[in-house]
Amino acid sequence: RMVRAERRRRHLTAEELGRKIGKGKTFVHDLEQGSTDLVTGETLAKIARALRLDPEVLLEAQRAEIRELRRSLGRLERAHTERTLGELELEAGPGVRRGLPLVEAEDGGLPHRFDGSAPEGRVLDYLYLPRLRVHNGFAAVWKGDDMEGPGEPSFRSGEVLVFSADREARHRDFVLAVSQGRSLFRQLFLDPKGRVRLQPLNLDAPPLTLPREELEHLFPLAARLVTY
């Protein structure tokens, strides 16, 4: 944000700043959006010179990012210890509560066979997400690039997606749609005439339009777990 604000204040385009530091405009955009790897001290010094900033200001911003990454890793490690292959007893109250199953279809893809709202397939693990209010749901690992969009939201291969069976899917929800033994992760668009459009975020992937009655299940997305 600091780099973007200073670049705009000096009326520089991303491409112009990129030329000054020997990088492409894509690098500048990724840097400003916080989606780059950690930047070398040499590159930070070049950015500071180009924008007439104190290099120490940029270095401290990166140190702060590293500290936040370490805190995030600590939270992930603590969360990992709360995952189990069985039932979990909660100290906060009586009774036993199950984690959400992380399920993979027998062919290795998204689950596409269901017993009611329970997915059939291999249970890889159970996820315990204490702040997520999903009582009836499941998780799956997303694979593919059909839902990688040009901006946000964008879903990358390897993300864990949590779907809920607690409520009906709504217009513009991201959903797991099940039809004729096939599962698709898409954005849902409901037509008043009873048809639905399952829209990928990847502009090169075609949408699928079909009558609502051909869909066996629609599970809305409740959460995503992003790995870096």
Asked whether residue 86 carries a pLDDT value surpassing 50, the answer given is: no
Quick one: 68 and 102 in the same domain? no
* pLDDT band per the 50, 70, 90 thresholds, residue 38: low
Quick one: 117 and 208 in the same domain? yes
Q: Cα(222)–Cα(220) distance, rounded to whole angstroms?
A: 6
| Domain end call among 30, 57, 81 | 81
pLDDT for position 91:
37
For the chain, give the percent of residues with pLDDT over 90: 32
Quick one: 167 and 56 in the same domain? no
Quick one: 111 and 169 in the same domain? yes
Q: Cα(120)–Cα(124) distance, rounded to whole angstroms?
A: 12
Quick one: 70 and 157 in the same domain? no
Quick one: 64 and 102 in the same domain? no
Q: Which amino acid is at 211?
A: P
Mean pLDDT of 66-73: 57
Mean pLDDT of 211-225: 92
- The strands making up 160-164's β-sheet, listed across from edge to edge, are 122-127, 100-104, 137-141, 160-164, 217-225, 174-179, 182-190, 195-199, 208-211
Domain that residue 132 falls in: 95-225
Q: Is residue 108 part of a domain?
A: yes
Mean pLDDT of 155-160: 90
Quick one: 132 and 55 in the same domain? no
How many domains are contained in the chain?
2
DSSP strand pairing (122-127 vs 96-98): unpaired
Q: Is residue 89 part of a domain?
A: no
- Nearest partner of 183 among 95, 103, 79, 87, judged by Cα: 103
Q: Which CATH number characterizes residue 161's domain?
A: 2.10.109.10
| Residue 137, burial from CB neighbour count under 10 angstroms (0-12, 13-18, 19+) | buried
Helical axes 55-81 vs 2-9, angle rounded to 10° = 150
For residue 162, give Cα distances in angstroms to 2, 27, 63: 34, 32, 33
Asked whether residue 210 carries a pLDDT value surpassing 80, the answer given is: yes
